[in-house]
Each structure stands twice: as structure tokens, then as C-alpha cells.
Amino acid sequence: MRRFILIAVPYIWLLALFLVPFLIVFKIALSDTALARPPYLPQFDWATGLGAFLAELDFENFVFLTSDALYWKAYLSSLQIAVIATLITLLVGYPIAYAMTRAPEAWRPTLMMLIILPFWTSFLIRIYAWMGILSQEGFLNQFLLWTGVISAPLTILNTNVAVYIGIVYTYLPFMILPIYAALDRLDGSLIEAAEDLGCSRLSAFWLVTIPLSKNGIVAGSFLVFIPTLGEFVIPSLLGGSGTLMIGKVLWEEFFSNRDWPVAAAVAVVLLVILIVPIVLFQRNQQKQAEAEA
Amino acid sequence: MQTEVFAPWDDPDQKPLIRFKSVKKQFGDFTAIQDLSLDIFEKEFFALLGPSGCGKTTMMRMLAGFETPTSGSIELAGQDIGSVPPNKRSVNMMFQSYALFPHLSIWENIAFGLKRSKMPKGEIEARVEEMLRLTRLEKFKARKPHQISGGQRQRVALARSLAKAPKLLLLDEPLAALDKKLRQDTQFELMDIQEKTGTTFVIVTHDQEEAMTVASRVAVMDEGRLMQVSTPATIYEAPNSVYVADFIGEVNILSGHAKPAGDGLYAVTWADGQPPVIAASNTPYSDGQQVHLAIRPEKVAISEAKPDAENAVEGKVLDIAYLGNLSTYHIALAGGQIIKAQTANTQRISRRSFTWEDTVWLSWTPTAGVLLDQ
């Protein structure tokens, strides 16, 4: 009995906070938009019963998503931005994590603190700060003009470049921490053994360090990729009209168009797309746990 | 028939494989190796023995190329290897932790070094199979290191370091992680493999029994200095200092003053109320010089009645350490000094002749011990 309760707690948690909200969203996705409050029909009515209620639900909105090129283009563009941003974050994060494991023992808590420190400030404020840095008259342009690298200010804000900068900046800690954890566990004598057996420093890095930090790389990449795919704040604040991301489309459907059913359908499809990497991520975590056992 | 004894260190014409020339190594203020010179010859099984922190691991890491000497030079086959990086040396190392690559199979671990050289694929395969056979690992070649036992991992590490047929193989505490029984078997296996491959082995260990078993010569180290370099038998029977005598095996040290008694014999007055002990020595000592007589417990005889011997003292049995094959008796003399005596238990325990509090006589011959001045 006690075991049952113990297992039931997380399941009830998942049921109440994930499955129930999902079902509500899914139901809205199957409804029709209406000038009402809430702005969709049907509403469940005890008088007409369950049968009549279910009969009114249909997949119309999902079909609609395929009819307008905007949606699949937004999904594809989101995927593309998420993949590229994840790769950039990896390229920036890996050397930082590597340098942290090479730093003297006494410095490491401080370095770790510096990585986590940005979380102490509101995410929204930090993105607004980037607007100040990247704008036409921003700090970056003023600095570049002052050093003479450029003669006319660069347009960075409201382009995809600004979106990438924002994503890499925001999600970098999620990349660094798992890679750092993996590299920190790496036995230094393995590198020495590789060198002893004829590897140069670089090939020892490729053949030993990289494969043995693979789990950290995979975990970090998913931790960046998954939230980036549905990101809304960064593209809407730093991106321009050319930045097409599904999070932004969803927001517009919901608040500008007030078309809750289509917005819900967009959200459901996004979730389906995300399930693949989430399952892969879980499998990686599980494999890692098994390898360590 | 007299077979030729393997002793290249006694032959002045022999060129050493490794030569340490007044090597010094400092880490900041700490001197790990102080002005050390040493020759190691081809096909030797050389043991660096000492307590932790004595510098033996630093010596090995300098041979492998992970550390460079602060001053002095190290030669391998006549060439200074001071500035040669580890991946360019014909020296391989077996790490204490084994350092097997966890993401590679046993086969790939052994092939790792070969693949870094420009060896053709077919030859690599043949060589790996040969190493698998040598270390009896054929059945496990597809497994990952975490799927095999500690003893098997030890053999993989050995196979991997031997695969490139190095001129010199370094073994850093190779058996420390194994339990005693397996360790003893593996010691003989190591000697066997060393003989079969004809590779020069340098082993670092803090286990004196291990060093004595496997090595052709042993270097006893302390605080970055070589205390004695010699064959196991010489180190044991003719240590050159109290430190070496005490580090290798058990020993009784009787300290006192020497008085020449003619014929290479010396009378050592070592305790009030005890007759001086007679000891033979090839090294001359002057009258009244401070000396230490080192005498191994198994060379001290124990008897009930006063024996007819040059050196005999009376005492009481204080402790008996029964080891199965041997028993070590701790005998307290009248002055409170304790002397250890060891006898082989050739009889069953029920007929053991001495027990606690028995009064017994200890005796030994003048040549049983070694006189040392330091």
C-alpha cells in the first residue's frame, strides 16, 4: 500500500499538471472558434449530454494548418533556427566547459558561479538589455564605430543574427553544465594513456575526450534544442519581421487573431514534434545511468 | 652444468638501455628527485621500491615523458630523451588505474596504439590476436572494460601497453588493485611474459614482496634518493643501511659500539647487562665506532636450554605471531629490549614447544647479521 502511494505521487503530479492541461488544449484544438467567452465551441452541457458534445469535435483546425504554408514554414524555420542555435551553443559552450575543468581547483566554484549568475536576473530584462546592446545606436555599434572597425552602424537588432545571439546567450549555461559534469568525471590518466600510445594532444582530444564527454554533449544539446524550438520571447523581442518561429505564430494566433482552436492545434503539433527529441534525450540519460551502474 | 647468470650490471662493457645522469626534479620548492644516477640494462626486470612520496612515480613519469627533469639527462639506448614527448617515445606505460578506454572494446583498446602507428590493417589484426593469446583474453575481446573482472582488466592493460613492442615497458603499481592470491599468480605471469617478449620492464611498487619476487634488480628509494640498487638477495642479505634493512622484511637492529676482536670479528656492546654480541664484517670499523647490527628474525634460533653458541641471550616469550607456515616470537630480554625470532612450523601446532611467558634462549652465529654504520 505504501509502495503504491509512493509511486502514485509522481503519477498524480504528471496527470494533474501535464496530462489534464494537455487534454484541455487538445479539446480546444478540436473545437470551432466562436464569438463567445471562452472564444470557442462546443462547451460541455449536461443537458445535451456527452454524445452531442463529442459529435461537434473535429480535426478541422489540423487540416487548416496544412492548407496555409505559413504554418509548416514556421515549423521548419523553427527547427532550422533551433538546430543552428544548438550547434553554435555547443561550439561556444564546449571550450568554456573544457577550460573550467582545466582551471585550478580553487577557481572552479567561482567560475561555476559566473555561469549560473545570469539566472539571478529576470530573463525578460536580460533580453531587453540585449536590445540596448544590439540596436543601431546600441553599445556594440558605438564601440565598433569608436574603434574604427566599421564606418556605418550595423543592423543587428530585428534580424536572425540577433535571435541567434539571444538564444546562445540564454541557453549557454544549459550546455556548459552537463558538458562540464562529463569532463570533470574524465580520468586524466586516460588522456595520458592515449598520448603514451602515440596520440598527439589533438588526436587524444578527438579519440578520448570527445567520445567520453558525448553524454554531456547530447544532454546539453537537447536542453538547448527543446526549449529553443518553441521559443517566443527571444524571436519576438530580438527578431524582425523576417524571423519566422512557431512560438511567435502561436502567440499571434492566440492574442492577435483570438483564434484559440487554431493556436491550440499549433501547440499540439509542436508538442508532437518535441516528443521525438524528448524521448531521445530520456533514452540518452537512461543509457548513461546504466553505463555508470 | 653452469648456466650463464643474467647480470649485465656486473659487465663493464654492457651499454645500459636507460641511463639517468645526475637527474634532479623539482616541483616548486619540493625536490622530488635529488641528483640521481642510475643505469638499467636491456631485458632487465627492474623494480623501483619505496614508500609513497619517495619519488619512484616521478622517475617513472620522467621515463614515460610526462615530466621532464629539472636538470640532468635521461638517455634511452644512448639518446637523450629529455625533450621527446610521450607519443614519440618507444616507451609504453601500464597505468595503476589501468586507464582502459571505457568507450572501446577490449580488442579496440589493445589495437589503439597500433592504429596510431602506420601499421597496415592486417598486421594490426594479427598483432592484437597475438596479444590476446598471450594474455589469455581471446574470449573477452568484444566486451567493454566494465564488463570484465579486475584481473582481466589488468591483463588488458598489459596487452595494450605491450602491443607496440616498446623498448621499455613501465608498470605503475600494476598489481595494487588485485587481491593477494591473484596478485601472486599475476606476479609469475608478469615474469613469464617479460621473459617471452624480452622487453625491459621497470616496475614501480611499494610492496617489497612484489619487488623481490619479480625483479632482477631492486632500487630502494627514500626521499628522492637511491638507497641501494642490487639484486633481491643482496638487498635482503646484505643491506647497506639500516633504512634498507628495515624497509625490506623484518629485522632486529642492535645498536651499540664496535670493538675489533680480530679475524674480521667485532664485539658490539649494545645494552647494559647484556654480553657484547660477536659479529663478522668485511667492512672495517674502528674501536668504539657507533654501529648497528641488523639481524633477520629467521636467523635467530630459539631454544629451551642455553645453547653452545657465540651469541646467546635469555628472555621471555612476550608475543607469538602465528602465520601458519611460520611463527614469529617476540622475546623480551631482561633490560626490556625485544628481539624477534622466527621459526618454520615444521611440526603441527599441538606440539609447539614454546608458549607465552616461557623462558627461552636466543642464539645466532657471528655471520647471521650485518654490521652497518648508518
pLDDT, tens digit (0-9, with 9 covering 90-100), for B95-104: 999 999 999 9
pLDDT band at B356 (very low <50, low <70, confident <90, very high): confident
CB contact under 8 A, B112 and A197: yes
Q: What is the pLDDT of residue A87?
A: 97
| Chain B residues inside the 8 Å CB shell of A187 | 97, 99
CB-based contact (8 Å) between A208 and chain B?
Answer: yes
Binned average pLDDT, 10 residues per bin, chain A of 293 residues: 85 90 92 86 80 84 90 93 97 96 93 92 93 92 92 91 96 96 93 94 94 93 93 92 90 90 93 88 82 66
- 597500433: which residue's cell? B114
Chain A window 149-188: which residues touch B at a Cβ cutoff of 8 Å? 187
Q: Which of B66, B85, B92 sits opposite A197 (nearest CB)?
A: B92
Kindly report the three-state secondary structure assignment for every residue of chain B: CCCCCCCHHHCCCCCCCEEEEEEEEEECCEEEEEEEEEEECCCCEEEEECCCCCCHHHHHHHHHCCCCCCEEEEEECCEECCCCCHHHCCEEEECCCCCCCCCCCHHHHHHHHHHHCCCCHHHHHHHHHHHHHHCCCHHHCCCCHHHCCHHHHHHHHHHHHHCCCCCEEEEECCCCCCCHHHHHHHHHHHHHHHHHHCCEEEEEECCHHHHHHHCCEEEEEECCEEEEEECHHHHHHCCCCHHHHHHCCCCEEEEEEEEECCCCEEEEECCCCCCCEEEECCCCCCCCCEEEEEECHHHCEEECCCCCCCEEEEEEEEEEEECCCEEEEEEEECCCCEEEEEEECCCCHHHCCCCCCCEEEEEECCCCCEEECC
Q: What is the pLDDT of residue B350?
A: 59
Residue A93 to residue A216: CA distance in whole angstroms: 11
CB-based contact (8 Å) between A189 and chain B?
Answer: yes
CA B238 → CA B215, B227, B235, distances in Å? 17, 13, 6
Chain B residue with minimal CA distance to A213? B103
CB contact under 8 A, B86 and A195: yes
pLDDT band at B351 (very low <50, low <70, confident <90, very high): low
Q: Do B40 and B17 contact (CB within 8 A), yes or no?
A: yes
CB contact under 8 A, A200 and B87: yes
Residue A135: Cβ within 10 Å count: 17
Chain B residue with minimal CA distance to A187? B99
| Chain B residues inside the 8 Å CB shell of A197 | 87, 92, 112-113, 116, 160-161, 164
Cell digits of residue B150: 579486475
pLDDT for B215-261, tens place per residue?
999 999 999 999 999 999 999 999 999 999 999 888 999 999 998 88
CB contact under 8 A, A192 and B101: no
- 612484489: which residue's cell? B210
Q: What is the pLDDT of residue B2?
A: 52
CB-based contact (8 Å) between A200 and chain B?
Answer: yes
Q: Say yes or no to pLDDT of B3 above 80.
A: no
Residue B252 to residue B300: CA distance in whole angstroms: 10
| Chain A residues inside the 8 Å CB shell of B113 | 197-198
| Chain A residues inside the 8 Å CB shell of B65 | 196
Q: Classify strands A32-33 and A40-41 as parallel, antiparallel or unpaired.
A: antiparallel
Q: Which of A187, A192, A198 sits opposite B66 (nearest CB)?
A: A192
Q: Say yes or no to pLDDT of B41 above 60.
A: yes
Cα B214 to chain center, whole Å? Answer: 8
Residue B85 to residue B65: CA distance in whole angstroms: 6
pLDDT band at B10 (very low <50, low <70, confident <90, very high): confident
- What is the share, in percent, of chain B residues with pLDDT greater than 90? 60
| Chain A residues inside the 8 Å CB shell of B96 | 189
Angstroms from B201 CA to nearest CA on chain A: 16
Residue B40, φ and ψ in degrees, nearest 5:
-125, 135
Chain A residue with minimal CA distance to B108? A207
CB-based contact (8 Å) between B164 and chain A?
Answer: yes
Longest Cα–Cα distance of chain A, Å, equals 81
Q: Do A185 and A214 contact (CB within 8 A), yes or no?
A: no
Q: Do B188 and B131 contact (CB within 8 A), yes or no?
A: no
Q: Do B372 and B238 contact (CB within 8 A), yes or no?
A: no
Q: What is the pLDDT of residue A33?
A: 87
Q: Which domains does chain A have, with CATH numbers?
A: 1-67 (no CATH), 69-292 (1.10.3720.10)
Q: Which domains does chain B have, with CATH numbers?
A: 8-243 (3.40.50.300), 250-372 (2.40.50.140)
CB contact under 8 A, A199 and B92: no
Question: Chain-wide mean pLDDT for chain B?
Answer: 90
Cell digits of residue B147: 564488463
For the question of an ipTM over 0.85, the answer is no
- Reported residue count of chain A is 293
The helix/strand/coil state of A41 is strand
Residue B106 to residue B100: CA distance in whole angstroms: 9
| Chain B residues inside the 8 Å CB shell of A192 | 64, 66, 86, 93, 95, 99
Q: Which of A189, A197, A214 sits opposite B97 (nearest CB)?
A: A189
pLDDT for B136-166, tens place per residue?
999 999 999 999 999 999 999 999 999 999 9
Q: What is the pLDDT of residue B1?
A: 47
Q: Comparing A281 with B125, which gets the higher pLDDT?
A: B125
Q: Say yes or no to pLDDT of B106 above 90.
A: yes
CB-based contact (8 Å) between B112 and chain A?
Answer: yes
Angstroms from A293 CA to nearest CA on chain B: 10
Angstroms from A225 CA to nearest CA on chain B: 26
CA A9 → CA A1, A22, A24, A282, B178, distances in Å? 13, 19, 22, 20, 45
Residue A150: Cβ within 10 Å count: 11
CB-based contact (8 Å) between A287 and chain B?
Answer: no
CB-based contact (8 Å) between A196 and chain B?
Answer: yes
Cell digits of residue B218: 631492486
CB contact under 8 A, A198 and B85: no
Q: Do B22 and B38 contact (CB within 8 A), yes or no?
A: no
| Chain B residues inside the 8 Å CB shell of A200 | 87
CB-based contact (8 Å) between A68 and chain B?
Answer: no
Residue B169 to residue B18: CA distance in whole angstroms: 12
Q: Which of B91, B95, B164 sits opposite A189 (nearest CB)?
A: B95
Q: Classify strands B91-94 and B168-172 as parallel, antiparallel or unpaired.
A: parallel
Q: Classify strands B91-94 and B200-205 as parallel, antiparallel or unpaired.
A: unpaired
Angstroms from A291 CA to nearest CA on chain B: 8
Chain B residue with minimal CA distance to A198? B87
Q: What is the pLDDT of residue A2?
A: 80
Query: Helix crossing, A260-292 with A69-102: angle to 10°?
Result: 30
Q: Do B90 and B167 contact (CB within 8 A), yes or no?
A: yes
pLDDT for A144-153, tens place per residue?
999 988 889 8
CB-based contact (8 Å) between A252 and chain B?
Answer: no
Sign of the torsion angle spanned by Cα atoms B121, B125, B128, B134 = negative
Provide Rg for chain A, Cα atoms: 24
pLDDT band at B283 (very low <50, low <70, confident <90, very high): confident
Q: What is the pLDDT of residue A6?
A: 86
Q: Which of A189, A207, A214 sits opposite B99 (nearest CB)?
A: A189
Q: What is the pTM of this model?
A: 0.82
